């Protein structure tokens, strides 16, 4: 990626004029952490207990699916799926390659 | 992004031979270091797996071959139309087949164990208490997290030291960046968040942005804010998971849906962005086109690195992709059910269009086994396209885009100087591991052990560290300026519409018209 310029970073020494925005920033950060803690520790656990969400979680766990996977190797169910496809290719090698159906003379 | 500043004094005098600019040389050096670090990690994993192999390997391979013969026999029996599905013999053969498959799986796992697996980990899922993220099946993940930290610290610290950043400055900064990445991973690991495909990349970016846009990124953190380096190293490691034999798993229908439609959509969307929408940034256009048509976050990372997109462009593309993924993974199964579409066709449609791999599997799971199998397989074949896409984009950029901005036709040496070298490492890892995989049971077991025990954990960490770094060096103004005029959104929506139409058409031709027998078989 392009080597761009870094945005200004906080310096070690801060003048008195900068104290006000700095403390505002600290307050904003604190507020954000309180919000994160509320959502992740209270709202989401409640939501996870909702029957429809619970059903979804259980189904994905049963099927070995991680919905947040970024690549196929992160999905546990993939081994079984690949095995099933390989078995299909072993027994009917033309099934997915030849347009002629087995019944066609 | 953070890179050591240019040193004008070190610039070479003008000669007839084309010399890479100083910045280019620094980038090259980082590219080669990424290849080296990626190779070291993969090489160490292969050696560890080899060292951990049991002494009676040949006996186990023989046993595996015997099990394979039994499985083939049982599968043939069960496929025989005269064998009644409701007979006790059928039930007995099915049970035996399951037992043989389980035995095979255990034998393959025993054939190649990765001793590094216990020492490299990332936070696991949790529902009520985040502390649960640090243990799995009553076993603490802390040694694994510590292992991933130490390996990353030593590798990147040593490489950056050679490139001019003292280790004593890098180490304390890296501790903080790694803790932020752990925090982001923990946020992403909450079960509800996981169900909606809100991946770690989003939270890593958010955590970094939160700090940089409130209190500001402290100066001492800068040595560890190494976005490009983390991404390039992660991509070299990802190469081990790009196995070309997977390409043939779903035969011609899979190739048509994933490898014919996808490049057509990618190129059409890019051209639409250039000539109709006239998006000023070609790299933004390319990253959005690739993440929408190939496979979301992982494709966006690979393409952005190959065309040297700006960090804000990558963030925007990922934001768009994740937003539409959440919508599509909910809406598409509902639409497929509502119109009573064949699950195989529906699975192929979702596999070819929903960006993210995990979301495709989750959406397929809603529609049943057949849809899940086809959707996940189509997406897996698309995943393999990442390597070709990254290589193609890198070649196109250095031969066509870069020269058109400078107005000169580049020579071979200049193309070589500009080419992102880490892409070669990525492609080489892919070819090498594909070859090892194709050597038989032992090769397959070795590659699987390297992937499950090392590569997917380490590249996950490196990408997470990269997104924390992007957040730490981005401000909201830069990010929002990318959305000016709404062109990226229009590009995504138009590209995805084309993707939806073309994928459905080709999947219908393949699975309904040309290969109806295969569709019937997949439905069983």
Does residue A47 fall inside a structural domain? Answer: yes
Does residue A4 surpass a pLDDT of 50? no
- Which pTM was predicted? 0.88
- Cα→Cα distances A13→A9, A19, A28, B232, Å: 12, 11, 21, 34
d(CA B53, CA B412): 46
Amino acid B320: pLDDT: 93
CA dihedral in degrees (B194, B195, B199, B202; nearest 10)?
Answer: -100
pLDDT recorded at residue B391? 94
- Both A56 and A73 in one domain: the answer is no
Gap from A90 CA to chain B (nearest CA, Å): 8
pLDDT attached to residue A17: 55
Predicted confidence at residue B185, as pLDDT, reads 97
How far is the alpha carbon of B267 from chain A, nearest alpha carbon, in Å?
A: 21
For residue B313 the two structure tokens come to 């462009």
My answer on whether A31 and A57 are in the same domain is yes
- Structural domain includes residue B230: yes
Q: Give the residue numbers spanning the domain of B394.
A: 26-52+112-524
pLDDT at A6: 44
Range of A57's domain?
25-63
Q: In a structure prediction context, what are the per-residue pLDDT tens digits for chain B, which is 524 residues long?
A: 334 333 333 333 333 333 444 555 555 689 999 999 999 999 999 999 999 888 888 888 888 888 888 888 888 787 777 777 778 888 888 889 889 888 888 888 888 889 999 999 999 999 999 999 999 988 999 999 999 999 999 999 999 999 999 999 999 999 999 999 999 999 999 999 999 989 999 999 999 999 999 999 999 999 999 999 999 999 999 999 999 999 999 999 999 999 999 999 999 999 999 999 999 999 999 999 999 999 889 999 999 999 999 999 999 999 999 999 999 999 999 999 999 999 999 999 999 999 999 999 999 999 999 999 999 999 999 999 999 999 999 999 999 888 776 667 778 888 888 899 999 999 999 999 999 999 988 899 999 999 999 999 999 999 999 999 999 998 887 777 777 778 999 999 999 999 999 999 999 999 999 999 999 999 97
- In a mutagenesis test of the A interface, which of B28, B81, B203, B216 is the best target, namely the one with the most A β-carbons within 10 Å? B216
pLDDT of residue A101: 52
pLDDT for B362: 96
- Domain annotation covers residue B225: yes
Identify from A3, A49, A77 which residue to disrupt to test chain B contact, counting B C-beta atoms within 10 A and taking the largest count: A3
Name the minimum distance, in Å, from the CA of B105 to any CA of chain A.
9
| Both tokens assigned to B448 | 């699987």
Tell me if A48 and B127 make a contact (CB, 8 A cut-off): yes
3-state secondary structure of A57: helix
Tokens coding B202: 């989003």
Q: What is the pLDDT of residue B63?
A: 87
Is residue B104 domain-resident? no
Whether B102 maps to a domain, the answer reads no
Note whether A57 and A76 are same-domain residues. Answer: no
Any domain includes A102: no
- Structure-token pair, residue A92: 């009917």
| Closest-approach residue (CA) in chain B for A66 | B358
Number of domains in chain A: 2
Residue A9 pLDDT more than 80? no
Beta partners for residue B140, in sequence order: B135
Does A35 fall in a domain?
A: yes
Give the pLDDT confidence score for residue A5 in this predicted structure. Answer: 41
Q: Flag if A6 and B222 touch (Cβ within 8 Å).
A: yes
Does B106 fall in a domain?
no
> What phi, psi does B82 have (nearest 5°)?
-80, -10
Exposed e or buried b per residue across B46-67, where buried means at least 16 C-beta atoms within 10 angstroms of its C-beta: bebbeeebeeeeeebbeebeeb
CB contact under 8 Å between B252 and A73, yes or no, is no
The whole-number pLDDT of residue B137 equals 85
How many folded domains does chain B comprise?
Answer: 1
- A56 contacts in chain B (CB < 8 Å): 195, 362
Do A33 and A55 fall into the same domain?
Answer: yes
Instruction: Assess: ipTM above 0.90.
Output: no
Within a domain: A77? yes
Helix axes B357-367, A51-63, angle to 10 degrees: 100
pLDDT tens-digit map of A44-61: 999 999 999 999 999 999
Write down the pLDDT at residue B26.
57
Interface contacts A/B by beta carbons within 8 Å:
216
Distance CA B1, CA B7 (A): 17
Does a structural domain hold residue A19? no
Give a yes or no: residue B63 inside a domain. Answer: no
CB B224 within 8 A of CB B176: yes
Give a yes or no: residue B169 inside a domain: yes
* Burial tier of B506 (Cβ tally within 10 Å: 0-12, 13-18, 19+): buried
Is A87 contained in some domain? yes
Q: Is residue A32 located within the same domain as residue A59?
A: yes
């Amino acid at each position: 990626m392009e080597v761009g310029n870094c945005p200004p970073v906080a310096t070690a020494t801060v003048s008195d004029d900068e104290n006000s925005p700095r403390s505002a920033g600290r307050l904003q950060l604190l507020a954000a952490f309180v919000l994160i803690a509320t959502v992740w520790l209270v709202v989401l656990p409640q939501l996870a207990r909702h029957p429809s969400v619970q059903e979804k979680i259980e189904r994905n766990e049963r099927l070995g699916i991680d919905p947040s996977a970024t690549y196929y190797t992160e999905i546990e169910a993939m081994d079984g799926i690949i095995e099933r496809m390989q078995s299909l290719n072993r027994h009917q090698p033309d099934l997915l390659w030849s347009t002629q159906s087995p019944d066609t003379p | 992004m953070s890179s050591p500043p240019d040193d004008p004094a070190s610039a070479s005098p003008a000669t007839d031979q084309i010399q890479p600019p100083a910045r280019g040389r620094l980038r090259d050096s980082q590219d080669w270091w990424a290849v080296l670090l990626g190779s070291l990690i993969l090489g160490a994993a292969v050696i560890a797996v080899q060292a951990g192999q049991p002494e009676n390997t040949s006996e186990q391979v023989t046993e595996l071959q015997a099990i394979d013969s039994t499985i083939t026999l049982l599968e043939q029996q069960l496929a025989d139309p005269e064998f009644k599905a409701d007979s006790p013999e059928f039930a007995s053969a099915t049970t035996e087949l399951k037992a043989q498959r389980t035995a095979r799986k255990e034998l393959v796992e025993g054939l190649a164990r990765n001793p590094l697996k216990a020492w490299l980990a990332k936070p696991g899922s949790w529902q009520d208490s985040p502390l649960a993220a640090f243990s799995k099946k009553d076993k603490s993940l802390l040694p694994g997290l510590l292992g991933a930290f130490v390996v990353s610290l030593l590798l990147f610290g040593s490489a950056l030291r050679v490139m001019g950043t003292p280790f004593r400055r890098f180490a304390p900064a890296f501790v903080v960046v790694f803790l932020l990445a752990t925090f982001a991973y923990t946020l992403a690991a909450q079960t509800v968040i996981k169900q909606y495909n809100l991946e770690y990349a989003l939270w890593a970016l958010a955590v970094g942005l939160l700090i940089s846009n409130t209190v500001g990124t402290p100066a001492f953190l800068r040595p560890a804010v190494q976005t490009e380096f983390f991404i390039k190293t992660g991509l070299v490691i990802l190469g081990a998971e790009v196995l070309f034999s997977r390409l043939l798993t779903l035969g011609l229908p899979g190739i048509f849906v994933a490898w014919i439609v996808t490049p057509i959509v990618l190129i059409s969307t890019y051209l639409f962005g250039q000539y109709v929408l006239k998006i000023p940034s070609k790299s933004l256009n390319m990253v959005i086109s690739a993440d929408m048509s190939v496979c979301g976050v992982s494709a966006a990372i690979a393409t952005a690195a190959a065309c040297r997109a700006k960090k804000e462009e990558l963030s925007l593309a990922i934001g768009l992709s994740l937003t539409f993924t959440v919508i599509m993974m909910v809406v598409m199964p509902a639409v497929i059910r509502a119109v009573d579409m064949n699950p195989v066709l529906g699975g192929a449609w979702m596999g070819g269009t929903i960006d993210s791999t995990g979301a495709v599997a989750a959406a397929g799971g809603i529609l049943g086994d057949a849809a899940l199998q086809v959707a996940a397989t189509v997406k897996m074949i698309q995943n393999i396209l990442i390597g070709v896409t990254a290589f193609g984009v890198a070649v196109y950029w250095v031969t066509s885009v870069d020269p058109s901005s400078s107005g000169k036709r580049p020579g071979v040496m200049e193309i070589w100087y500009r080419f992102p070298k880490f892409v070669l490492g990525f492609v080489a890892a892919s070819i090498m591991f594909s070859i090892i995989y194709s050597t038989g049971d032992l090769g397959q077991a070795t590659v699987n052990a390297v992937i499950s025990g090392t590569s997917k954990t380490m590249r996950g960490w490196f990408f997470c560290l990269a997104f924390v770094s992007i957040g730490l060096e981005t401000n909201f103004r830069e990010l929002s300026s990318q959305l000016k005029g709404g062109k990226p959104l229009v590009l995504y929506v138009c590209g995805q519409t084309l993707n939806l139409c073309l994928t459905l058409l080709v999947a219908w031709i393949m699975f309904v018209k040309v290969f109806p027998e295969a569709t019937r078989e997949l439905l069983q």
